């Protein structure tokens, strides 16, 4: 029974991939991370705007304010500057960087699923922006941006941040990039969870 539990706790290949393809995916993503950087988008979003399709997510974001105003969500989107497409042994095309995040335990964000909380992933403040740390404590993604005081205040008040990792489309829109993020989510192109913020 113990060995079965151990097997169940291991990361499972995303989308039914095989272990060889997953190892290749991690290697490609590691190379891309060393070569490229992530864009960091930080903003305060309404739970209705970003999480409008999932009432469970809206409830997780924060308690409604006394005056009934929309829930405010502190969002940190680490977006690789370019996708790294890889073909698995089964012939499936995957974006290596987001698949590596999924393999390491950051859940894929799909429109029909509520986001889990993850204490194993952490967003940390650094002098020039934010960093996303994986369960091993290593920096998984790092971005440079000015962090508004109200964003930090909301994150501390709610004791969590909506941390997102993945590549959006190239459509240019005025900030914040909520619609781009929703489209990426609808394609299964991002991983995300509610994570702690460390200052």
Predicted confidence band of residue 85 (pLDDT cuts 50, 70, 90): low
What phi, psi does 75 have (nearest 5°)? -110, 135
Predicted confidence band of residue 120 (pLDDT cuts 50, 70, 90): very high
Model pTM above 0.85? no
Q: Cα 140 to chain center, whole Å? A: 11
Q: Please give the mean pLDDT across all residues of the chain.
A: 76
Two tokens, residue 105:
């335990």
pLDDT for the residue numbered 145: 93
Lowest mean pLDDT: which of 40-54, 113-127, 167-181?
Answer: 40-54
pLDDT for the residue numbered 49: 65
Q: How far is CA 102 from CA 26, 38, 99, 107, 145, in A?
A: 10, 17, 5, 5, 25
Q: How far is CA 111 from CA 53, 57, 187, 190, 199, in A?
A: 7, 10, 9, 11, 30
């Amino acid at each position: 029974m113990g060995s079965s539990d151990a097997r169940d706790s291991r990361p499972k290949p995303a989308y039914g991939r095989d272990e060889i393809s997953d190892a290749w995916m991690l290697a490609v993503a590691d190379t891309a991370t060393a070569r490229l950087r992530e864009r960091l988008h930080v903003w305060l979003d309404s739970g209705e705007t970003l999480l409008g399709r999932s009432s469970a997510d809206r409830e997780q974001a924060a308690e409604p304010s006394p005056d009934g105003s929309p829930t405010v969500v502190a969002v940190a989107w680490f977006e690789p500057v370019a996708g790294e497409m890889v073909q698995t042994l089964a012939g499936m095309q995957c974006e290596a960087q987001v698949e590596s995040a999924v393999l390491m335990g950051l859940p894929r964000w799909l429109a029909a699923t509520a986001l889990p909380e993850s204490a194993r992933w952490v967003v940390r403040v650094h002098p020039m922006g934010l960093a996303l740390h994986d369960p091993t404590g290593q920096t998984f993604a790092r971005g440079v941006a000015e962090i508004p005081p109200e964003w930090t205040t909301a994150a501390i008040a709610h004791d969590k941040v909506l941390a997102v990792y993945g590549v959006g489309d190239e459509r240019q829109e005025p900030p914040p990039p909520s619609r781009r993020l929703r489209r990426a989510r609808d394609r299964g192109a991002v991983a995300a969870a509610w994570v702690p913020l460390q200052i």
